[in-house]
Amino acid sequence: MELQAMYIQILALVIFAIGIIVAISRRNLFFVLMGVELALNAVNLSFVGFAKTLPAEASVTGQIVPLFSIAVAAAEACVGFAMVIMIFRNKESVDADSYSDMKG
Amino acid sequence: MLALVYFIILGVIAVGAALCVLLSRHPLYGALSLIVSMVSLAGIYGLVGSPFLGVVQVMVYAGAIMMLVTFVIMVLNGAKDKRTPMFDGVSLFIIPAVIVLAAMVGFALMRATLTFDTATVAGSVKVTSEALFNMAATGPGYFLLFEVIGVLLLSAMVAAIFLAKRHLGSVITDNTEEKH
Amino acid sequence: MTYLPLWFIPLFPLIGTILLGTIAVVSSGAKKGPSEGLVGTLAVLFPALSFAVVAILACTMPEAGIRETLCNWIDIPLFRADIGFLFDGLSRIMLLFVTGIGSLIAMYSIGYMHGDRGFARFFAYINLFLFSMIVLVLADSLLLTFLGWEGVGLCSYLLIGFWNQDIKNCKAANKAFIVNRVGDVGFLLGMLTLVTIGGSSILNYDGLAAFIKMIFGADMVSEVVIPLSLAGILIFIGCTGKSAQIPLLTWLPDAMAGPTPVSALIHAATMVTSGVYLLARLGLMFSMLDYVLLAITFVGMFTALWAAIAGLLQNDIKKVLAYSTISQLGYMFMAAGVCAFDASIFHVFTHAFFKAALFLGAGAVIHSLAGEQDMRRMGGMINKTPVTACVMIFAFLAIVGFPGFAGFWSKDLILERIFVSGPIVGPLVYVVGLATAVITAVYMGRLIIMTFFGKYRGSKESEEHIHEAPAVMLIPMVILAFGAIFSGYLWADSIGITFFRDSMASVVGPAQALYASTNAVSHVNPVIFAALGTVAALAGMFIAWKVFIRARIIGVKGASTVPEGSAASWTFLWDYIHCAFIAGVNILAWFCDVVVEKVLQAIQWTLAAIVEILGDGASVLQVRKVRLQLAFSIAGVALLVMLVVFSGGLV
Amino acid sequence: MLLHLLVIAPFVAAILMVLNSREDSSASSRMAILMGAAFTAMSVALIVTGNQATTPMEWFHIPGTRGPVYYYLYAHGLGTWMVFLSCGLSLVALISARCTTGKDYRNFAIGIFALMGAMNGTFLAADAVLFFFFFEAMVIPAAILIAGFGGEKRTTAAMTFAIYTLVGSAPMMVALWYLLTIADNFLLLSMAVAIQSLPPYQQDLVLLSFLLAFVVKTPIFPFHGWQAITYSEAPAPLSAILTGAMSKAGVFGFIAWVLPIFPMNLNYISGLMWLGLLTAVYGALMALRATDGKRLLAYSSMSHLGFAVAGVFSLSEAMLPAVLVLLVAHGISAGVQYFLMGVAERMTGTRNITEMGGLSGKNPVFSFLFGTAGVMALAVPGTAGFVGEFTVLLSLWDLGPLPALVGGFCLILSATYVLRFIQKVIFGMPAREYQEGTRTTALEGVSFGTMLALLLAFGLHPAFVTNSLHLFDEVATEETATELVEEVAEPAEEHLMTAEELRELDSTLAASGFSEEERKALLTQIQSIEKVDSVEVQDSTEVQDSAVVQEPAVETDSAAAQVETPAVETEKTEASENE
């Protein structure tokens, strides 16, 4: 019983699924954002897991991409929370369903 | 063998924490559970041989980003919303849909054969930075991406300031009106 | 030897058209019209110049004629046509009287149209008409003839509807054009048939003659005679349209709505005879086609008889003359039907003089009565307008064929030729022709008696105003009256003058020789025919005298000057047959408009409605919750993946 | 260069118009008319200089296809005259719209220029995708103009027009895409080659979807639902352009694209000829009953175009010049009739011809122009319409008397409705009192008069028009062709031409201004000489009109001689490499 590459992928899949569920089924905006973060984390994990199946030099690349994705996640969180603050001030609500002004 | 044991422990913690995020009512609890989940994921990175990435995960994600999240949650006190139910009809529809999708993807995944390569390079700081900052013309050119990420972060910062500033500005005008 | 260029002849009226048209358009905005003297001079000058050119050419022309190709017209694969002119014995005669009578009538019109607001416009049309007519006659190919053919039709349309404020005139003009158009399409299709038989060169008259020589040489007559007959019939339909023969004759009586000089020029002397001209021009072709010739003969015979009877019943002076024209045209067609093209053209020639004189006289009468056209309100005019009366009486004697007058020579020639043409058909047609001559004398006598003899039946105050026409109108009338008396002596067979026949022999001679070679032609002493013709004319005149000089003609009361007998009242069934066709087309149009179009629209709207309903249905699915939509899309992806996986797609 | 200018510059002109002040409509109208005159001059220059082509430039690459899309324009006789129509009519429309559009003149001009550019592109494109792009692009400015400047039901009209034509050409897009996955590039010959490799039912399907687009655009009988409402609701100057130039795109498509690409699938052809005749009769009958003047003109236009389509599918030898003359004549005469109808509408304030009348007394200049235009629409000999209709009838008569008889029936009907139209509008007395609007302006009068004079000129000397179809022959004789003949003829004898070379030859021939038919015939000839056992040749030789193929082998040589030098050399080097 050794650690298999597939296990990592399964774990990533489970976490990704949970992240998506959080992002969509919860109505609180904070949970929506956190669900997205969770899903991003799962993707990073998947990257690293796959990277480890590659030989030598190529495996390094698989570990660099998550770095970038973390940076992008940081930017996303920064802007996202700024927007949450603004919308919250206007609407006095963090309920995602109450933001339906764009519905035609 | 030992690695597998560690992996199971960390994995169970990560999944458990993730479920805590799903099930907690207050966002603050959710954020804390998320931090736990991320830290355990960092552990897994270390386990599979990417220690640098694990450290970054802890520092940037669990440290900086989640710090921001908790900060915002605390600032907006009204974030705790008792009126809205945790789950509604939509959720009942989503959960099975996502589970089915995940199952399908998993099913497809299981058909592949994945094995760890024995000659992988551990993602140490040295190795990673050599790859990242390889400026040779024939190299992968990640440094360019790195620059772009810098610009992205800068613009995100500007955007955040802009969003916040308008808000602040309106507050200021309100104050001036009160004075006059 | 060099000759004057042929294109001079149409050039002058064309210049006249452009000048006068410009004057008409430019002066249309002004309060006062352009100077009538200037316009009148221009209007007569150009036709007269053209007549001069024709006269010079006529004297110097060689026997074979003059041919002139100006330039290429159409040049595409399969088809090639040139613009070229042909001046020979036939076109010489036609051009002489077209330009000559055209100039005279233009002069007459100066008096007749005096004070009309559209004075310049009228003469522009007249010049355009002369241009088209010259092109028609002078053309060396069917296609160019067709240009003139439609051109004269167009001018006829413009001139019938000249007083276009009155919608009735416009309707008469439309009728003329459309009925003519039916014939024109026949002409067009006939040309196409010819092209498919012998290539585009066959449209040229010389080319056609060469082609017919070729088929005789190659002994292919039996092969081409059926398509040629088709072409002949189609072209003949064109001729019936233009020359107002059965079945396309209904437009000519209505065409009298135009000014009287127009009726004289276009609807009596020149345009309506172009059908006869075309038959003569294509004589060589027609002489091969026995059945077509038979059809032409009978059409001519029925038309002559029918129009003569219809002429008996008219009260409008111009309509009587119109039916008389149709009847005389019937004679010409009869003659053409037995391949007596020279006799037929001779009658065209004499008819142009006496009919123009009659029309101009009628115009003078109408002019002096201030627009009155109803013969029941005339009478006793011989005292008031003696010159007009004399002109009309001379012309009357000419038309009935009184010995010595023009009609005597030409009509008797036609009847003689018909009689000798064949064993059964000839005498039969001859008898009908003779009977028609009697009826002609009757209705023409009626016209003269009702107009000039007896008592004046109009109102008192109008009687005061009766006056002789001005000199500018009388001079042309007198000249034409002289023509009506003496033009017959160009070919007085009985006294041995055959100048006219000789001058045309080179053109129609071959055709008539060909016909004579295939048909047994008997010889009878011409004096017998002359005597019989004289008896017929005298009998008719006698009947007219007996019946109409004593009959009480009821003068109609009321101020209406509208000519009676419009539309279908005295055309027996031909107008009704036309109406049936028109009704058929209208029903078809109604069917298209009300049924087909609506059904198509219904289909269109049904499709649109289905799409719209589907769209509405789909927009219901657009829920308010973003999350639900995301959920839908995830479920959709899940479904898709399931589908792919279970159908074994991901191997 | 001229071609680029004609296609690109109208869009630039549209942008320039944007810079104009909205308020000062007289300044913007001056500018617009000047630019329109410049374009007309360019189109005349195009006619004078004859057939030409640009160097093909790769534009973009559609994923899943085998070759790039070229930005490649070429002018042959047909397209050149269509370009002339589109530019000339646009110019007159710009002149005529001055009195009606008022302050919105600038926007109107922008739309007209955009429409003009799209139309020019359609008529000059050598690449199928480029053609389709412009073909669709035409609809948009036209629909916007209708919606902005039309009559009462303008929105309905614009929607009907846009949806009908766009839906009509949607199947063509699919078919085009499908063709492009099997053809090497988007030029005519490679598509024609590619189509032969499909099974017959697929060929028919592709053909049908091509036909549908053009049939709707023309329009042909069951698909004319958009036409009457569009033409009657659109502002009159725009209607003139729509019927005079845009509707020609349908007939143009039949001639320039359908016939060359599907030379073998002729089993629909006679059907289409009859459909064209049916359209002609149907349009004429509908015009008989119309009371709306613009609707009457719309149906009359439909009738004429149906006649033209019947002429196209008679496939006679004389078809191309005949239809070209007919199209040019109809473009000008229908255009001027629409303009004049617009003036009548302006003067009387109504489109209903039963309420008009008596204009001959009120405005003689107008009535002169109106009557002359009507008479010219009747195809009286001496006008261009006669030459067109006569030669088309000649083509129809080749197939038998019946089609020609139906055509003749149409001529009678056309006389009927045109005369009725003239009578109702300018003759008689006015049916009701009306406030008299702006009369014909001097500039308008001059431009309408010029159009009528053109009709007369083309009618008396149609070689102006028909000669442009073989203009190239005359030019070629000047060249010292002999050595080129040897250069090309030699390799041709020694080895079989491959498909690529044929395509290249085709594009070079196109560049040197051959019409499709000519090229098709030539290439068929070449292939049959060399006994290429590739797919496309054998049957097409049989089906093509024998007269087209008759052209002897000498013709091939001289044609090859006309190929431009560089292209020939590349061909030669390739040939030697292959050896």
B106 in a domain, yes or no?
Answer: no
Where is pLDDT greater, at D142 or B49?
A: D142
B4 in a domain, yes or no?
Answer: yes
Which of D286, D322, D380 is closest, CB to CB, to C76? D322
Residue A28 forms contact with C (CB below 8 Å):
no
Chains D and B are in contact, defined as 3 or more C-beta pairs closer than 8 angstroms: no
C613 in a domain, yes or no?
Answer: no
Q: How far is A51 from chain C (nearest CA, A)?
A: 23
Report the pLDDT averaged over residues A67-88.
Answer: 87
Confidence of residue C237 (pLDDT cuts 50, 70, 90): very high
Domain of residue C587 covers 573-607
Mean pLDDT of chain C: 85
Residues C395 and C357 sit within 8 Å (Cβ to Cβ): yes
Owner of token pair 């024998």? D546
Where is pLDDT greater, at A56 or B23?
A: B23
| Crossing angle of helices D154-182 and D188-196, rounded to 10° | 70
Among residues D291, D459, D310, the alpha carbon closest in space to that of D377 is found at D459
Per-residue pLDDT tens digits for B46-73: 888 888 889 988 998 888 888 888 888 8
pLDDT of C543 above 50: yes
Report the pLDDT averaged over residues D128-142.
Answer: 91
* Cβ neighbours of A68 in B, within 8 Å: 145-146, 149
A55 in a domain, yes or no?
Answer: yes
Contacting residues for C631 by C-beta, under 8 A, at least 6 apart? A24, B90, B93, B94, B97
pLDDT value for D519: 66
- What is the C-alpha to C-alpha distance for residues D142 and D155, in angstroms, rounded to an integer? 12
Query: Are B73 and B145 in the same domain?
Result: no
Q: What is the pTM of this model?
A: 0.78
- What is the C-alpha to C-alpha distance for residues C479 and C357, in angstroms, rounded to an integer? 9
* Cβ neighbours of B30 in A, within 8 Å: 30-31, 34
- What is the C-alpha to C-alpha distance for residues C123 and C161, in angstroms, rounded to an integer? 14
Report the pLDDT averaged over residues D523-547.
Answer: 46
Q: How far is B95 from chain A (nearest CA, A)?
A: 6
- What is the C-alpha to C-alpha distance for residues B53 and A16, in angstroms, rounded to an integer? 19
B167 in a domain, yes or no?
Answer: yes
pLDDT value for D472: 42
Radius of gyration of chain D (CA): 24
* Cβ neighbours of C627 in B, within 8 Å: 90, 94
Among residues D292, D380, D413, the alpha carbon closest in space to that of D341 is found at D292
In total, the C-beta contacts within 8 angstroms joining chain B to chain C are 33
C566 in a domain, yes or no?
Answer: no
Residue B112 forms contact with C (CB below 8 Å):
no
DSSP H helices in D349-441: 359-362, 364-377, 384-399, 401-426
pLDDT of D400 above 90: no
pLDDT value for D487: 41
Q: Which amino acid is at C348?
A: V
A103 in a domain, yes or no?
Answer: no
pLDDT value for B40: 93
Owner of token pair 């092969």? C223
Please give the span between the terminal C-alpha atoms of chain B, in angstroms, as a whole number.
Answer: 75
Cβ separation of A55 and B30 shorter than 8 Å?
no
A57 in a domain, yes or no?
Answer: yes
- What is the C-alpha to C-alpha distance for residues C407 and C396, in angstroms, rounded to an integer? 9
- What is the C-alpha to C-alpha distance for residues D293 and D419, in angstroms, rounded to an integer? 13
Q: How far is B64 from chain C (nearest CA, A)?
A: 28
Helices (H) and strands (E) in chain C, counts: 26, 2
C375 in a domain, yes or no?
Answer: yes
B98 in a domain, yes or no?
Answer: no
Q: How many domains does chain A have?
A: 1
- Stated as kind and residue range, the H or E segment containing D542 is helix D537-543
Contacting residues for C47 by C-beta, under 8 A, at least 6 apart? C12, C13, C16, C99, C102, C103, C106, C126, C127, C130
Cβ separation of C192 and D404 shorter than 8 Å?
yes
Where is pLDDT greater, at C34 or C407?
A: C407
Helices (H) and strands (E) in chain D, counts: 31, 4
pLDDT value for D540: 42
Residues B40 and B10 sit within 8 Å (Cβ to Cβ): yes
pLDDT of C7 above 90: no
Report the pLDDT averaged over residues C290-306.
Answer: 90
Residues C308 and C400 sit within 8 Å (Cβ to Cβ): no
Query: Are C121 and C56 in the same domain?
Result: yes
B117 in a domain, yes or no?
Answer: no
C562 in a domain, yes or no?
Answer: no
Report the pLDDT averaged over residues D335-344.
Answer: 91
SS3 of residue D545 by DSSP: coil
Query: Looking at chain A, which subunits does it touch, using at least 3 CB pairs closer than 8 Å as the criterion?
Result: B, C
pLDDT of D303 above 90: yes
pLDDT of C571 above 60: no
- What is the C-alpha to C-alpha distance for residues D17 and C10, in angstroms, rounded to an integer? 50
Confidence of residue C146 (pLDDT cuts 50, 70, 90): very high
- Stated as kind and residue range, the H or E segment containing D431 is none
pLDDT of B164 above 80: no
Closest residue in A to C632 (Cα) is A24
Owner of token pair 């022999």? C505
Owner of token pair 């760890």? B116
Residue C223 forms contact with D (CB below 8 Å):
no
Cβ separation of C625 and A100 shorter than 8 Å?
yes
Helices (H) and strands (E) in chain B, counts: 7, 0
Report the pLDDT averaged over residues C70-85.
Answer: 85
pLDDT of D484 above 50: no
Question: In B, residues 68-97, which contact C (CB 8 Å cutoff)?
Answer: 90, 93-94, 97
pLDDT of D470 above 80: no
Query: Looking at chain B, which subunits does it touch, using at least 3 CB pairs closer than 8 Å as the criterion?
Result: A, C
Q: How far is C396 from chain D (nearest CA, A)?
A: 37
Where is pLDDT greater, at B163 or D242?
A: D242
Which among C623, C629, C640, C642 is the top mutation candidate for probing chain B, defined by the most B β-carbons within 10 Å of its own β-carbon? C642
Residues D291 and D353 sit within 8 Å (Cβ to Cβ): yes
pLDDT value for C5: 85
The DSSP annotation for D206-256 comes to HHHHHHHHHHHHTT-GGG-TTHHHHHHHS-HHHHHHIIIIITHHHHHHIII
Residue A20 forms contact with C (CB below 8 Å):
yes
Closest residue in D to C153 (Cα) is D380
Residues C128 and C28 sit within 8 Å (Cβ to Cβ): no
Among residues D113, D118, D51, the alpha carbon closest in space to that of D78 is found at D51
Where is pLDDT greater, at D377 or B86?
A: D377
B92 in a domain, yes or no?
Answer: no
Chains D and A are in contact, defined as 3 or more C-beta pairs closer than 8 angstroms: no
B86 in a domain, yes or no?
Answer: no
pLDDT of D115 above 90: yes
C84 φ, ψ to 5°?
A: -150, 160
Task: Tell me what percent of chain C is helix, strand and coil, each rounded to the nearest 5.
Answer: 75, 5, 20
Report the pLDDT averaged over residues C444-458.
Answer: 83
Q: How many domains does chain B have?
A: 2
Domain of residue A77 covers 5-94
pLDDT value for A35: 92
Query: Are C540 and C599 in the same domain?
Result: no
Closest residue in C to A26 (Cα) is C627
Confidence of residue D529 (pLDDT cuts 50, 70, 90): low
pLDDT value for D518: 64
pLDDT value for A101: 66
Q: How far is D314 from chain C (nearest CA, A)?
A: 14
Cβ separation of D428 and C193 shorter than 8 Å?
no
- What is the C-alpha to C-alpha distance for residues C316 and D253, in angstroms, rounded to an integer? 58
Which one of B78, B99, B121 terminates a domain? B78
Query: Looking at chain C, which subunits does it touch, using at least 3 CB pairs closer than 8 Å as the criterion?
Result: A, B, D
Residue A47 forms contact with B (CB below 8 Å):
no
Report the pLDDT averaged over residues D287-316.
Answer: 90
Among residues C305, C299, C364, the alpha carbon closest in space to that of C334 is found at C299
Q: ipTM score of the complex? A: 0.75
Q: How far is B86 from chain C (nearest CA, A)?
A: 14
pLDDT of D536 above 90: no
Query: Are B147 and B74 in the same domain?
Result: no
Q: Which amino acid is at B146?
A: F
Where is pLDDT greater, at B174 or C427?
A: C427
Cβ separation of C178 and D398 shorter than 8 Å?
no
pLDDT value for B80: 59
pLDDT of D82 above 60: yes
A104 in a domain, yes or no?
Answer: no
Q: How many domains does chain C have?
A: 3
Residue A98 forms contact with B (CB below 8 Å):
no
Query: Are C267 and C305 in the same domain?
Result: yes
Among residues D425, D543, D561, the alpha carbon closest in space to that of D480 is found at D561
Which of B21, B78, B164 is closest, CB to CB, to A82? B164
- What is the CATH classification number for the domain harbouring A22? 1.10.287.3510
Query: Are B72 and B137 in the same domain?
Result: no
* Cβ neighbours of B98 in C, within 8 Å: 634, 638
- What is the C-alpha to C-alpha distance for residues C375 and C583, in angstroms, rounded to an integer? 34
Question: In C, residues 616-645, which contact B (CB 8 Å cutoff)?
Answer: 625, 627-628, 631, 634-635, 637-638, 641-642, 645
Domain of residue B162 covers 133-180
Query: Above pLDDT 90, what percent of chain C?
Result: 20
Confidence of residue D476 (pLDDT cuts 50, 70, 90): very low
- What is the C-alpha to C-alpha distance for residues D27 and D34, in angstroms, rounded to an integer? 11
pLDDT of C567 above 70: no
Report the pLDDT averaged over residues C388-399.
Answer: 90
Contacting residues for C365 by C-beta, under 8 A, at least 6 apart? C317, C378, C381, C385, C388, C451
Per-residue pLDDT tens digits for D198-221: 888 888 888 888 889 999 988 888
DSSP H helices in chain A: 5-25, 29-51, 56-91
Residue A97 forms contact with C (CB below 8 Å):
yes
Residues D298 and D426 sit within 8 Å (Cβ to Cβ): no
* Cβ neighbours of D547 in C, within 8 Å: 77
C3 in a domain, yes or no?
Answer: no
- Stated as kind and residue range, the H or E segment containing A95 is none
pLDDT of B176 above 50: no
Query: Are C521 and C636 in the same domain?
Result: no
pLDDT of C462 above 80: no
CB-side neighbour CA atoms (13 Å) of D158: 18
Which of B94, B100, B108 is closest, CB to CB, to C631? B94
Report the pLDDT averaged over residues C305-323.
Answer: 86
Confidence of residue C551 (pLDDT cuts 50, 70, 90): low
Cβ separation of C634 and B105 shorter than 8 Å?
no
Count of C-beta atoms within a 10 Å radius of residue D102: 10
Residues C333 and C300 sit within 8 Å (Cβ to Cβ): yes
Contacting residues for C279 by C-beta, under 8 A, at least 6 apart? C236, C239, C286, C296, C333, C336, C341, C344
pLDDT value for D282: 93
Confidence of residue C149 (pLDDT cuts 50, 70, 90): very high
pLDDT value for D537: 39
pLDDT value for D512: 56
- Stated as kind and residue range, the H or E segment containing C79 is strand C79-87
pLDDT value for B16: 94
Mean pLDDT of chain D: 79
Q: Which amino acid is at C439?
A: I
Cβ separation of A84 and B68 shorter than 8 Å?
no
pLDDT of D551 above 50: no
Confidence of residue D521 (pLDDT cuts 50, 70, 90): low
The dihedral of CA C279, C282, C283, C286: what is its sign? negative
Confidence of residue A11 (pLDDT cuts 50, 70, 90): very high
Report the pLDDT averaged over residues C178-186.
Answer: 91
Q: Which amino acid is at C23?
A: I
Among residues D210, D76, D74, the alpha carbon closest in space to that of D130 is found at D74
* Cβ neighbours of A18 in B, within 8 Å: 15, 18-19, 21-22
| Crossing angle of helices D200-217 and D188-196, rounded to 10° | 140
pLDDT of C132 above 90: yes
Residues D10 and D116 sit within 8 Å (Cβ to Cβ): yes
DSSP C565: S
Residues C348 and C468 sit within 8 Å (Cβ to Cβ): no
Report the pLDDT averaged over residues C228-250.
Answer: 89
Closest residue in B to C640 (Cα) is B101
* Cβ neighbours of C629 in A, within 8 Å: none
Owner of token pair 């007519």? C133
